[in-house]
A and B are shown apart, each in its own frame.
Chain A
Amino acid sequence: MRGVAIIGCAMTKFGRSDLSLMELMGESSLGALRDADLGDRPVDAVYVANMGAARLNKQTAIASALVDRLNLFPAMAEAVENGPASGASAFKNGFQAVASEMADIVLVTGGERMREVNNLEVTDFVASLSHPEAEYIYGVTLPALAGMFARLYMDRYGVTAEHLAMVAIKNQENALKNPYAHIQQEITMEGILHAPEAVVNNPLIADPLRLYDCCPVSDGAASLVLCPLEMAQQMGKQIVKVTGLGQATDTHAVHERPDPTQLTAVRLAAQKAFAMAGLTPKEIDLAELHDAFTILEIAQSEEAGFFKKGEGHLALEKGITSLSGELPINPSGGLKARGHPVGATGVAQLVELVWQLRGEAGKRQVEGAKNAFACNFGGFGNNVVATVLKRED
């Protein structure tokens, strides 16, 4: 298996867009291809990550459509749908294509246009990833699953509403330094939890989760260009190498897990990625975790091996995961504040890691970052992809 490098990346601003899904994906793809500066080298394959185009945007076969839009003929092309982990799954497919020598240059683009439909419909669309007979038919939504998970976590490990709010405040503060982030708003503990008005400012969505514990519904796209490590070295690029990739699955229905607070697929995917990279969690300089709900950042920070089980919230409390801490988590703002166009998220996490490793993250730059980790969480933890990237000096 040959080494793989990321030589180009770009994303659109996340949020509410007037652009179509294809326009969004076209914009980020062109940005990544410009960044890669390929000259006359052809793109051999295109992997498109998306979860809902058929339902939300009435469009199918979007990989072929993107190739056509970008005039990348006769590149191989296919779409990858793996729920909210579609982005990292598409990236994994791209990695495999380059590593196996099936392709030299691969474009990976994730995109979603969710604001096309109203909030009720989009909540139902996301809920369609739950177990059809055991969860969905009973009206389960993702906020509901996350609410039950959070309640159990709070009871068992001493996580409080303040800890959840700390994640929200930290990630919204990080997002203020990220011009691509959906949410550009500072929030305070007083305003979202302690003031008498907090009940209106931050209403319950799914007890104990409140409005600011949940990610927004976003439109957006993100893209990466991959090539063999050797080719990147010949091009004289600042190289970001893909050193670890792991993926694992778990039961579809959350209640079938022996302990619903254990995110086994996160743990296994992370272990595989670290083993492949030859690193331990202690050697990671920053991480992008899948904080669709604030509780998930805390839980994933433990399952990925950064902190002991039940101690993620203590690390948060000590500021270890803040931008200036020992292990900044979600310097981009995470899903919570950068936004969560589901198919784009896994790719956007990696775009952030590449910017950080190349020293191009602006005001949110983690100084001296060399190894970085991402966790893209599909379903409610039933399909997880973990990635480790490294800056090659």
Chain B
Amino acid sequence: MGNGNELEALLRPPATEMPQYPPKVITLASGEQMVVRQIDREEVPILLEAIAPLIWVERDFYDIVAARFFAELLAFKRYRVRDEYCLVGLIDGVLAGMVNGRMVNKDIGMSYHTLTIRRGLRVGSHLFAAKMEYYLEYLKQKEVLIVAESPIGFRRWMIEYPLQKKYEVQHELGGVPSWVLTRETYFAAKPRLVSGRRPVPPELLKKAEAIILPEEETVKAQVLGQKEVGS
């Protein structure tokens, strides 16, 4: 072993050239505009900051989703995972949610997580749909392997699309039997589940350049769906 750089090269997985996800804008039920775009490695630390407090929130399995998402993004930043990507949803630049996954090979995608910060506006549904759009329309994959870690996820993905069982394949998230989204299922579901417009108007894109984090207390309140009586 010659030097540290050579060792590091051995530790890193090979990387596949992946086309960028073109940003899009979605009008939410509130009338707010959410820009969905892909992040760079350099933006991972700010997302880690947003995720960290949620690791201790048990409701709706936020704890396990946050802990795993944190580790997956850290691995992305430190080059310890192969062909990962992350999309974020931003409303006026403020982080509303995020999704991630990776390519297993040129045909198969491995969906990881969907984490919603701004709840009650179907932000998670929109972001999950964007993730599937990326796999099937931009990465041109044949199928995506998916599992849900919460009943909400099960309703959103397995039932709404609907996904098919592919139990013979263990998913990377804990070896849980996989479900699969095929191209046929995706394009059948697309009209009712995948939305958004391109190109994003320059002023909205500009606002979405930097990721602004909501206050930690606001995040927890939104995630827990609680507003103090008297506030």
Contact = CB atoms under 8 A, between A and B. Distances in A.
Q: Do A and B bind each other?
A: yes
A200 B193 contact: yes
Interface string B123-167: 001100100000000000000000000010001000000000000
B120 A183 contact: yes
Contact of A201 (B121, B226, B229, B231): B121
A185 B30 contact: yes
Interface in A173-230: 179-180, 183-188, 190-192, 195-203, 212
B83 to A, nearest CB: 28
A119 B155 CA distance: 10
A195 B27 contact: yes
Interface string B100-135: 000000000000000000001110011001000000
Contacts, number: 69
**Interface core residue of B30, B129, B197 (most chain A CB under 10 Å):** B30
B224 to A, nearest CB: 9
Nearest to A193: B29
B229 A179 contact: yes
B2 interface: no
B188 interface: no
B225 A191 contact: no
Contact of B231 (A179, A183, A199): A179
Q: How large is the interface on A (under 10, 10 to 19, 20 to 34, 35 or more residues)?
A: 20 to 34
Contacts of A201: 27-29, 121-122
B195 A197 contact: yes
Interface string B201-231: 0000000000000000000000001111111
Given A16-B225, A179-B231, A200 B195 contact: yes
Which of the four size classes fits the interface of chain B? 20 to 34
Contacts of A188: 29-31
B26 interface: yes
Given A192-B29, A195-B27, A184 B227 contact: yes
Contact of A196 (B197, B229, B230): B197
A84 to B, nearest CB: 23
A201 B123 CA distance: 9
A234 interface: no
Contacts of B53: none
A375 B193 CA distance: 37
A352 to B, nearest CB: 14
Nearest to B191: A199
A203 B192 contact: yes
B48 to A, nearest CB: 28
B177 interface: no
A71 interface: no
Given A13-B226, A197-B196, 9 more contacts: A179-B227, A179-B229, A180-B229, A190-B31, A191-B27, A191-B31, A197-B27, A199-B195, A201-B27
10 contacts: A118-B151, A185-B29, A186-B30, A187-B29, A188-B29, A191-B31, A197-B26, A200-B129, A201-B121, A201-B122
